[in-house]
Amino acid sequence: MLKNIFIVLFSFFFFCFSKGQDSLQKSLEKRLVEFSNQRKEDSIKRIELENKFAGIQITSKEKESLLKELKFLKSRDSIVTKRYKDKIDSLRLINKGVPVVPFHDTLFIVYRGVGGFTMKERARSIEEKIIELAKSYDFNKDSIKVSSDENQYLIYSDEDIIASVGLQDALWENTSLDKLSDKYANVIADSIEKHRSDVSLPTLAKGTLYAILLISVVSFLIFLINKGTYWLKLKLFRNKRNILSPFTKKKFKFFNENKQIEYLWFLVGIIRWLIILILIYLAIPILFNFFPSTQGYSAVFLENLLTPLKKIARAVIDYLPNLLTITIIIIIFRLIFKFLDFISEELDSGRLTINGFYKEWTKPTYQIFKVLLLIFIMIVIFPYLPGAKSPIFQGVSVFVGILVTFGSAGALGNIMSGLMLTYTRAFSNGDYVKIGDVTGEIIERNLLVTRIRTIKNEIVSVPNSTVMNSHTTNYSTDSSNKGLIIYTEFALGYNIPIEKVHEVAKKAALKIPEIKKDPAPFVFQLRLDDFYITYQINAFITNAHNQEVIYSNLRKALVLELNEAGIEVLSPHFMAYRDGTEPQFIKKDI
């Protein structure tokens, strides 16, 4: 609905503007006719006065009166002429005229209609007459002539009127009527002559021949470029061992010869297409110039292609100071990064020590400093980036920041937990730990997750936030120095002496090779239950990673040793009803 109202209002205003312009034009024409008639009357009267002044004897008083009247007529003529020139100059802002373009070039511009014709209709009529005249087989340039008819001049050929030139046309062009009519006649004759020459059979045949020759040359050059590209790729591939070598860093090879060959081939392909496009770009304007009817398109093609390139080049040149600033900033921070690399390597190798700073803190601390420096670099460089001050660029930056903030909430929590775990030194890679319900060896620890290999060779990934919220037991921290105590429980009856139980349990523990003799194993009485005593055997080991196997061997040795000592093993889940029979023992042959 609003769209229709807007269209109606726009049409109404355009109609009013057109009507207003037409009314101004008609009013000016009417005044020019009056001005022309007035000039005629003034000219006749001036001639009469000049004849009267020269032909009879007059007194000095009459002579002075005639001179005043002649001077008045001349001044009125110049004043009226200036007035109408001023009116036309004021109309130039709203009346741009209609060009007469019968072929490719503009011959002249008409600024007024004639009779019942508007400006556009008058221009189209002149174009049609010129085109029709150019089609005439026996056209002669000298056949176009000019004749005067009252207040206008007529341009015609063999009694066919091509155009009329009036006083108002002369005022629009700031020239005299006779000069303007001669100019129009010469322009029309020259354009017809040129057009007939351009579309002649010899000209077209010559242009076609040159076009075929140019296309052949360009095709041959493209063929040579393709052949040269293929030869260069083959040469690079055959000599890759001699001219290329892989990049190495700390005995690690990357970016090998094959990968380098792929990138070189890609670069050669880009250069090939660039040369072909430049060749075609240079050939198209030349091809257009072979035919007179398309010569104008050559300049248009070049302009449309060069204008964006000029804008890009200008933008690059204008951006050079900012680019230089960014380059200097990057160089400075690059030196800072190299200094941090050096300090990190020294701390990691142990050549440099700082009191209170542990070796395992080196890499995470380096990564923290690196991230903070990168963020600081982006803050410093951001104002110098192209379009950084544009609202669109700033809006996109804010939008991306919001996405990163909400999308990485969980990841940031894991990262902070990972940092806390690093600086609290809860465990290290290779430690044997228990996190929640997972027990195994730490094989990887990063800012997001901790990976554990269980005794079943399962790799369990635990998010660092889960690790922080769980109880962590580290079996390896003091196992090599103070030893790790392993323990297991067993139950025996009240009728068995406690000293004998201690002796048998310690003897069973010492039969395990991994259990240390010093400190010696020891036994606790944990509970005095209704029917039995629950004991706990404790022993020291140094290999925490193998504790599951040691536990199994200790339980086995304990059962066998109690059996050897003639002690009946009662489980907490086993009840014996005694009827006076002999005690039951485990048979050796079972």
Residue 570 or 200, more confident: 200
Instruction: Say which range, 264-268, 433-437, 541-545, 583-587, has the weakest mean pLDDT.
Output: 583-587
Give me 56's structure tokens: 């009879």
**So what's the pLDDT on residue 129?**
86
pLDDT of residue 503 exceeding 90: yes
Distance in angstroms (rounded) separating the CA atoms of residues 549 and 512: 10
Peptide bond into 519 cis (omega under 30): yes
The mean pLDDT value for 132-154 works out to 77
Per mean pLDDT, which range of 54-68, 439-453, 464-478 is the poorest? 54-68
Which pLDDT value is given to residue 151?
67
Phi–psi pair at 462, nearest 5 degrees = -115, 120
HSE, side-chain direction, 13 A CA sphere, residue 346: 10
- Residue 15: band (very low, low, confident or very high) from pLDDT cuts 50, 70, 90: very low
If you average pLDDT over residues 287-302, what whole number do you get? 72
What size, in residues, is the chain?
590
Residue 410: what pLDDT?
61
Give the pLDDT band (50/70/90) at residue 6: very low
Name the one residue in this structure whose structure tokens are 């990691």: 348
Mean pLDDT of 127-141: 80
**Inter-residue contact 99 to 109 (CB < 8 Å):** yes
Highest mean pLDDT among 49-53, 327-331, 342-346, 477-481: 327-331
239 versus 44: the higher-pLDDT residue is 239
All residues at 6 or more sequence positions from 25 whose CB lies less than 8 Å from its CB, including other chains: 91, 95, 112, 113
Residue 539 predicted with pLDDT over 80: yes
Q: How far is CA 126 from CA 27, 108, 130, 352, in A?
A: 24, 11, 6, 95
Kindly report, residue by residue over 460-479, the tens digit of the pLDDT: 888 877 777 778 888 887 77
How far is it, in rounded angstroms, from Cα 108 to Cα 114?
Answer: 16
208: pLDDT strictly greater than 70: yes
Inform me whether the pLDDT recorded for 564 exceeds 80: yes
18 pLDDT tier (thresholds 50, 70, 90): very low
**How far from each other are the two terminal CA atoms of the chain, in whole angstroms?**
100
- Residue 45's pLDDT band (boundaries 50, 70, 90)? low
- What is the sign of the dihedral through the CA atoms of 403, 409, 414 and 420? positive
Whether the pLDDT of residue 563 is over 50: the answer is yes
Task: For 391-477, give the CATH class.
Answer: mainly beta
pLDDT of 544 strictly over 90 = no
Gyration radius of the chain's alpha carbons: 53
What percent of the chain has pLDDT above 90?
11
- Region 337-359: what's the mean pLDDT? 80
pLDDT value at residue 430: 81
Compute the average pLDDT of residues 482-487. 88
Q: Are 152 and 164 in contact (CB under 8 A)?
A: yes
Q: Name the fold adopted by 484-565.
A: Alpha-Beta Plaits (3.30.70)
Lowest mean pLDDT among 208-222, 251-265, 271-285: 251-265
Structure tokens, 373? 């420096």
- The C-alpha torsion from 134 through 140 and 141 to 146, rounded to 10°, is -100
> Tens digits of per-residue pLDDT, 78-102?
665 666 666 666 666 677 888 888 8
Query: Tell me, what's the pLDDT at 104?
Result: 76
Residues 504-529: tens digit of each pLDDT? 999 999 999 889 988 899 999 998 88
Report pLDDT digits (tens) over 108-126. 888 888 777 888 888 888 8
The rounded distance, in Å, linking the Cα atoms of 139 and 168 is: 31
Pick 517 or 244 by higher pLDDT.
517
The predicted pLDDT at position 308 comes to 82
DSSP code string of 506-560: HHHHHTSTTB-SSSPPEEEEEEE-SSEEEEEEEEEES-GGGHHHHHHHHHHHHHH
| Spatial distance between the Cα atoms of 362 and 350, rounded to a whole number of angstroms | 10
Domain ranges of the chain: 7-93, 98-199, 204-244+257-290, 318-389, 391-477, 484-565
pLDDT digits (tens, 9 = 90+) for 66-79: 566 656 555 555 66
Structure tokens at 576: 């014996």
CA 177 to chain CA centroid, nearest Å:
60
